[in-house]
Amino acid sequence: MKQIALLGATGSIGTSTLEVMRAYPEAFRLVSFSFHRNLTAARAIIQEFQPEYVAAGTESDAAILSQEFPAIQVGVGVAGLEAASVLPAVDVVLTAVSGSVGLLPTLAAIKAGKDIALANKETLVMAGEWVMAAVKAAGVTLLPVDSEHSAIFQCLQGETQNLDRLVITASGGSFRDLSREDLTQVTLTQALAHPNWSMGKKITIDSSTMMNKGLEVIEAHWLFGVDYDKIDVVLHRESIIHSLIQLRDGAFLAQLGPSDMREPIQYALTYPDRWPIEHAKPFELAQLGQLHFEPMSMTRFPMLALAYEVGKKGGAYPTVYNAANEIAAQAFMDGKISYLAIEAAVTQAVAAFHEEVTTLERVIEVDQETRQQVTAWIEGGKL
C-alpha cells in the first residue's frame, strides 16, 4: 500500500491522480491533500477518501471543514501544504499545485525523506539546483509527472549512460497556426481551446505562449542533468509522441501514447512496475495514419528562446521568467491585459533583472519582488 499526499487535489492533475487511485484502492491510500478555493470538491474528496489531513486555501474554509469533519486535521496556506507533505504516514508526495507555491512544501517533503512525484514544474524551474541537491542528500526519488519528462524518463530506462540529446515535443498550443500579427486580436476563450490536451487554465495559456515549453526545457535540464545545447524542441501537432531521447550511436527512442495524464501519473506512482489503465478510447496506431514534425520558430515563439537564455544564465533568472509569467497570465485571464502583454511582461522583467543570485533564500525573495513589479506595471497601465 502506497500512502500518498496529494497537493492540488482539486485541479486537473489532482483529479486525474484521484482517478488512478480510485482504480487501485488496495494499492493507494490518500493520507492528505490540499485545495485552494474549491471547497465543494474538497468536501467530496474527504467523503470518498477519508484522509487524515487537509490543507485549505483560506482560514474560513479550514474552519468550515474542521466543523464538518471533526476527526480530520485541517491546516491553511503554505504551512498547511508543508504539514500535509511531511506526515509520518506519507510515502510519496504528488505535487500538483499550480505555480511557485509548490516549491517549499516539495522541499520540506524531500527533507523529511518522502519520495516525490512532480507535476509542478515551477519547483525545478525556480530551484532546480537546490531541489536536486536535496534529493541527493536525502536519498529519495523524484519522478516526473509532466508527460514530456515522463516520456524521457521512460525512454531512459537502461540507457542513461548512452544519452546524447533530449527532444521535447510541443503541440504548438491553441495559436500554433496564427502569425504574430494575428495575435493582437486573440481572446481568452480562443487561448483556452487547446487542440490536444484538457488541462488547467494557466498551463493552457502557457502552452499557447510557449512559456510551458520554456518551463519544460528548464525542468528537463535539472531532472536529467543535460546541457541546454543538448535539449531540442520540435513541433509535433498530434501530441502522440510525448518526447524522445537520442543516444550516442544516433538512435532515437520515443514514447507514444494518448493525451491522458493518468499514464504518466500512474507510472510515477507504480514505477518500476506498469499497471493496466482502462482508456475510454483505446489508442490505435493504424487509425492515426501520420505523425508530423516541424521546426520550432524562435521568432514566432520568443518565450521559448528566452527560456534557453534564462536557463543558461541560471541563478534567479528562471524565477523572474516564471514569476512574471504567473502574474501576467493571471492578468490576461482576468481581462486586465492583452494576450501579447504576457510576453511583454516576461521580456521586460527578465531585461530589468541584473543580479547574480546564489542562495535559495534570495531566489524566493526575487520571486516575490518580480510579482510585485509586474503587478505594478499592470496596475500602472504600463503593459
Which one, of 252, 242, 228, lies nearest residue 163 by Cα?
252
Q: Is the dihedral of CA 115, 36, 365, 336 positive or negative?
A: positive
Q: Are 205 and 303 in contact (CB under 8 A)?
A: no
Q: Are 57 and 37 in contact (CB under 8 A)?
A: yes
C-alpha cell at 210: 510557449
DSSP 57: S
C-alpha cell at 80: 498547511
Query: Position 22: which residue type?
Result: R
C-alpha cell at 199: 488541462
CB of 309 to ligand NDP, least distance (A): 21
**142-144 β-sheet, strand order:** 73-76, 53-56, 28-34, 2-7, 92-95, 115-118, 142-144
How many residues at the interface with Mg ion, by CB under 5 A?
Answer: 3
Binding residues for NADPH: 10-13, 37-38, 120, 122, 200
Would you count residue 219 as binding Mg ion (CB under 5 A)?
Answer: no
Distance between CA atoms of residues 340 and 330, nearest Å:
13
Distance between CA atoms of residues 340 and 369, nearest Å:
22
Question: How do 241-247 and 163-170 pair as beta strands?
Answer: antiparallel
The span of 34-42, 58-66, 173-181, 293-301 binding ligand NDP (CB under 6 A) equals 34-42
Would you count residue 82 as binding ligand NDP (CB under 6 A)?
Answer: no
Would you count residue 218 as binding ligand NDP (CB under 6 A)?
Answer: no
Would you count residue 38 as binding ligand NDP (CB under 6 A)?
Answer: yes
Q: Out of 84, 87, 110, 119, name the contact with ligand NDP by CB under 6 A.
A: 119
Q: Out of 11, 105, 214, 315, name the contact with ligand NDP by CB under 6 A.
A: 11
Q: Which residue has the cell 516520456?
A: 151
CB of 291 to ligand NDP, least distance (A): 21
Distance between CA atoms of residues 148 and 171, nearest Å:
11
Q: Which residue has the cell 500535509?
A: 84
Would you count residue 144 as binding ligand NDP (CB under 6 A)?
Answer: no
CB of 134 to ligand NDP, least distance (A): 19
| Tally of CB atoms within 10 A around 269 | 24
Residue nearest to Mg ion (CB): 146
Polymer length of the chain: 383
The helix-helix angle for 201-209 and 340-351 (nearest 10°) equals 80
CB of 327 to Mg ion, least distance (A): 21
Would you count residue 146 as binding Mg ion (CB under 5 A)?
Answer: yes
Would you count residue 35 as binding ligand NDP (CB under 6 A)?
Answer: yes
Q: Out of 4, 87, 96, 217, name the contact with ligand NDP by CB under 6 A.
A: 96
Distance between CA atoms of residues 164 and 108, nearest Å:
33
Q: Taking CB within 5 to 8 Å according to partner kind, which of Mg ion, ligand NDP, none is near residue 82? A: none
CB of 216 to Mg ion, least distance (A): 6
- What residues from 219 to 278 belong to the interface with ligand NDP (CB under 6 A)? 261
Would you count residue 200 as binding ligand NDP (CB under 6 A)?
Answer: yes
CB of 144 to ligand NDP, least distance (A): 9
Q: Taking CB within 5 to 8 Å according to partner kind, which of ligand NDP, Mg ion, none is near residue 52? A: none
Q: Which residue has the cell 509527472?
A: 145
Q: Out of 51, 57, 75, 144, name the contact with ligand NDP by CB under 6 A.
A: 57
CA dihedral 364, 3, 80, 329 (to 10 degrees): 50
CB of 378 to Mg ion, least distance (A): 27
The span of 127-135, 160-168, 198-206, 297-305 binding ligand NDP (CB under 6 A) equals 198-206
Would you count residue 100 as binding ligand NDP (CB under 6 A)?
Answer: no
List residues binding ligand NDP (CB under 6 A): 8-14, 34-38, 57, 96-99, 101, 119-122, 146, 197, 199-200, 202-203, 261
List residues binding Mg ion (CB under 5 A): 146-148
